Structure 1
Amino acid sequence: MRPGYPADMDDRQRYDRATAHLDPPFAVVDLPALRANAAAMVRRAAGKPIRVASKSVRSRALLERILAMDGFDGIMAFTLPEALWLVSTGMRDVLVAYPTADRAALAELAATPRAAQEITVMVDRAEQLDLVESAVAGVRDRQEIRLCLDVDAGYLAFGGRFRAGVRRSPVRDAVQAADLATEIAKRPGFRLVGLMAYEAQIAGVGDDLPGRSVRTRAVRWMQARSRRELITRRGRIVQAVRQISDLEFVNGGGTGSIEKTTRERAVTEIAAGSGFFHPRLFDFYRGFTGRPAALFALPVVRRPSPGVVTVLGGGYTASGSPGADRLPQPYLPCGLRYDPDEGAGEVQTPLIGQAAEDLRPGDRVWFRHAKAGELCERFTGLHLIEGDEIVDEVPTYRGEGHAFL
């Protein structure tokens, strides 16, 4: 399998020197790589602000560092309890990207003036409004709740027999969006302030797949047609909703589509998060390249036979459709791969290849996670590296005692 970003043996030496005093497993973030990735994302956005997807970072300290950079404004959270916590620590402008059914969190939102001012929650059906009203019915001095309307940005073809994109909202056209916006306007205690349409089939699907020419051509065909269709449909939806509500923002895109989505007049901001860490799944795009910025190290603990070493742990499989692309990538030293009969194990992982001949118990193997923030669910802290030194250690969400999903 082609490493989309070539492994750099100098990086291995640098990481080994910086962390020589640590016993793995542990995770690191290469700060120069993260900053370079962030700068590239800003250039691709061409002047439109990027809302930072917290699920791809999952470290409050790193979120603060990123938001201090030019070009980034606001957070896209993944749960309402997460958003409430972030706002309680001083963060602002938090959009919860997914609908919530957490009644206690909704009641807290409605009862807390600053939270209600800074947090926007997602809806795509009138029934969700009913749930919110039920959850906050007993709240005294209920605050107005800010809402964002989620629109399905998936691509349909051949009379609906083919679909690309995640299954999210039931709202697909301008009439449906206007109907829901009208329903929101009728209900006291709600204010529609935003609209979101996430084109996962473009932003989250690589279009330069090694050794899969037929698949690559099919992806490019689909993405080109999906973009043309969505530009028109999203524009009509936004125009229709703006006739009913004064929208503060229209959010679209993701790391894989920044330079495409930013061209749409209807879109006022881009969402992105994976691009900061540049995990394995984002190696395979024509439009941009990034530098691996987040890695984890596992110790070699066995040499069961020639050409084979075993590391402790490693079964950090990413979410999504199961497949080899959801496994972490043995990254440094070069030339290691999984035993096809075992894969990545919960407690131990055998690795095979020429590089295994030079490894001994106590040495470390560096891995890249397939997806970005999910790595942080395995570690309580991240060691931040500048050059060949650790300059800081910051907690992940779990390191601060939070596990939101």
Structure 2
Amino acid sequence: MKVLFVLILLVGTGAFASDLEVDECVGCHTARRNEPKSRFANGLGHWNDSQCYGCHAELNDVAARKQKGQVDRRYFAVPVREEKLAQLATTPLAYMNAPETVEPPEGTVPRVSWERLAAFLKRPSNLSPQEGSRAPRMMAYPSLQPKALKAVADLLGVRPQAREKTPAKLSVEERRQADTLWTTRCFSCHGGPRPVSGRSGVALGLYTAEWLRDYAAGKVRAPREARTMPVVPLSTEEAKLLHRLFGEMRVEAERELDARVSRLKLEDMATPTALPPALLSYLWGPFFRDATCVHCHATSPRAASAFTADAEGLKAYLRRKSGEEFWRRLETRALEAEHGLVAARPGMPMAGVELPLELRRLVARWVLEGCKDPEGQTWCRH
């Protein structure tokens, strides 16, 4: 009973990479994110699947107004369960921390590093605002192509720095100097398993050396963020060393995470000896909504091309892929939450909180027993 109670509390969002990266950036990081394509008769916005920020903002607004007892005609068209709507009044949906603008205007120090942007978009490293989780809360684009990268950079105003080139690997002496800077100037807020600032060295690698220098000195501001960081003096050369160190930290972190994913073993996780009788009906039905699969895999052509969030879609996925792959993507998300970094093959639910351990263990046992449906038919051989 405890497990089944946990299952209905799942939250998060998910999607796969696509050729519509620019549309998704428009829907989160530009002024157009609050513009629905059209309006329903009651005034509720008619959003498409790339307008995450605007749709979530409106749902949060309806939830807050309902909690205050205010009449809102939009309430009757909100596609959210009553208990979820009540939860939103105090715990808003994701994407609300997405800055409308990413880059400062021309003439100021560039913030985002062009040469680091691709790595960040393919494997985001921002930390989750969800209590107790470090799962990155942004869409990942592991198959991002150069043309799409340029389009995204242009849209966000990311500017190639003059004569910017891929920094050389730090020498032994440079690495020693960089590590000392990290330990003495940065680690107390940005280091450790739960960085106080919310940004690890891997996440800081997205920014240019010049921005790191000026932000540390209090000369520039980050979008939509109240500054809590004390002034930390950094010379240009010190900032460049840290920028290079953060790049190497990302490479090392990616390697460590992917190694852990490769060592995942289905048998090690399937600790329950028997499945609860109600689990099969749950996995082939309510699971798709509770685990937020339907949020993308039943509405977005991009995500649905990989997996359709219904019983027939699950059967097709298990035949085409495997039960182990289904479990592995869920388990990968838990590892991503530990590392604050997306894996080479992103976990699910993408941009959402990892599913509870009890559920993942039950899924592992279900896979080992052949991915049975409620009628007892098996659909996978691990």
TM-score for the superposition, normalised by structure 1: 0.21
TM-score normalised per structure 2: 0.22
Between Structure 1 and Structure 2, which shows a larger proportion of strand residues?
1
Name the structure with the higher helix share.
2
